Amino acid sequence: MNRSVADRPDAGAPAFPVLGAISFCHFLNDMMQSLLPAVYPLLKGGFDLDFGQIGLLTLTYQITASLLQPLVGLYTDRRPQPYSLVVGMCSTLFGMLALAFAPSYAALLAAAMLMGIGSSIFHPESSRIARIASGGAHGLAQSLFQVGGNFGASLGPLLAAFFILPRGQSSLAWFALVALGGVGVVTALGHWFRNNGHARPRSSVAPHGNIGLSAKQRRRALAVLVALMFSKFVYLASLGNYYVFYLMSRFDTPPQEAQVYLFVFLATSAGGTVIGGAVGDRLGRKRVIWGSILGVLPFTLALPYVGLPATVGLGAVIGFMLSSAFPAILVYAQELTPNRIGAVSGLFFGFAFGMSGVGAAALGELADWTSIEFVFRACSVLPLIGLLAVFLPAETQRTAHRHSDGMMEHSNSK
């Protein structure tokens, strides 16, 4: 079913300056957050860590973010906080400084917690701003917002390879200046949010009734989306956290070269994010979810058994396809719960962080018990969970809500 802008004649155009600003902030935030896993080889040698300790470091960061995000979103749904993003960016700033000068493993864990708190505030609040500024093109707006984060995350390995590794752990302190620049931009976004009337307390009553679905149907749909998120992010945890070690172990790839290959994977993931949201607006989010998660299965099954060039190529394809699912999943969930945009955004971003953390910790222990190659073979079947997408409701049941929701949010963003 085609859902072009023509299907939303009264929704208006997206506020691209606001979307550009929030995407840029997402770029800065996730670039800094990505430095933590990117410097794992440096920390592993400097602090004599095993894979289990690396997994626990990721778990600390991800769980801190995942547990707080839904709570932040739920609170700000009722009591909007125009400058909450400033608090989140400052927490990331302090976490970066703590990571740069950490003298012990315990200090590394504390730095990871500060960075997790920063993400827990940033993601639900910035996703809310992206939706407000969407003009009804929710998939496009989420894609533009998320591509900034994905592209920022993709730079982590390159920055680690060519700036941090040659200079050492303390060079991470320079990125506190990046966070300081981000504070200035999110402060301006807070002014926009407040001055355009979005800081008023909101009613807890749903604005659009049950949007054509019963409470049971909505709960089932949300449960399916959560299962699909599990499949996507646990698999991505294996690549995001252990791809460098896999390449080094299986192909004797030098660390700096392996970081470049990780950048290729992350950069193509950013491209998939752009495509997923825009295509979901036009062809339907359920189709994107089907194609991106279940459709990637042949490539994940093949990856553990091919040579280095094919591994890099398949990793790029897998990153592109899997990343295209998240904008579609998030907007689908927001449309199921229109009066809980912050809470559902926090829940899904938080679940993504939590699953990545739990997955990283579990996969790290599994790698210590077996091998990093075994981990990649075991994870290759996870996209089979994409079969559950058959239980998602047809999107025609939600079309009327999406149109009216788009008109309301565009009028509010003027």
The tens digit of pLDDT for each residue in 355-393 reads 666 777 788 888 888 888 898 898 888 888 888 877 887
Q: What is the pLDDT of residue 166?
A: 84
Radius of gyration over alpha carbons of the chain, in Å?
A: 20
Length of the chain: 414
Whether the model pTM is above 0.75: no
At 397, is the pLDDT very low, low, confident or very high (cuts 50, 70, 90)?
Answer: very low
| pLDDT above 70: percentage of residues in the chain | 81
Question: Which pLDDT score, from 0 to 100, does residue 113 have?
Answer: 92
- Give just the sign of the alpha carbon dihedral 165, 171, 174, 178: positive
Domain limits, the chain: 12-413
The CA distances from residue 368 to 53, 55, 220, in Å, are 10, 11, 37
Give the C-alpha separation, 133 to 122, whole Å. Answer: 16
**For the segment 288-333, what is each residue's pLDDT rounded down to a tens digit?**
787 788 788 899 999 999 999 999 999 999 988 887 877 778 777 7
Q: What is the Cα–Cα distance from 291 to 209, expressed in whole angstroms?
A: 30
Other CB atoms within a 10 A radius of the CB of residue 216 amount to 8
Interior CA angle at 232 toward 229 and 237, to 5°? 115
Architecture of the structural domain at 12-413:
Up-down Bundle (1.20)
On the 0-12 / 13-18 / 19+ scale of CB atoms within 10 A, 184 is exposed
Compute the distance between CA of residue 35 and CA of residue 115 in angstroms, rounded to an integer: 11
Residues above pLDDT 90, as percent of the chain: 13
The DSSP annotation for 26-79 comes to HHHHHHHHHHHHHTHHHHHHHTT--HHHHHHHHHHHHHHHHHHHHHHHHHHHHS
Nearest to 78 by CA among 128, 118, 127, 142: 128
Minimum mean pLDDT range among 16-20, 36-40, 41-45, 211-215: 211-215
pLDDT for residue 182 is more than 60? yes
At residue 154, the 3 state secondary structure works out as helix
Contact 157, 39 (CB under 8 A): no
Question: Is it the case that residue 34 has pLDDT exceeding 70?
Answer: yes
Among residues 171, 62, 192, the alpha carbon closest in space to that of 126 is found at: 192
Cα distance from N-terminal residue to C-terminal residue, the chain: 29
Read off the tokens for 21. 């600003």
Contact 347, 68 (CB under 8 A): no
pLDDT digits (tens, 9 = 90+) for 116-164: 899 888 887 887 888 788 777 777 777 778 778 777 877 877 788 788 8
Rounded to whole angstroms, the Cα distance separating 335 from 134 reads 14
Closest CA to 36 of 90, 91, 88, 113: 113
Instruction: Answer yes or no: are the C-beta atoms of 16 and 137 closer than 8 Å.
Output: no
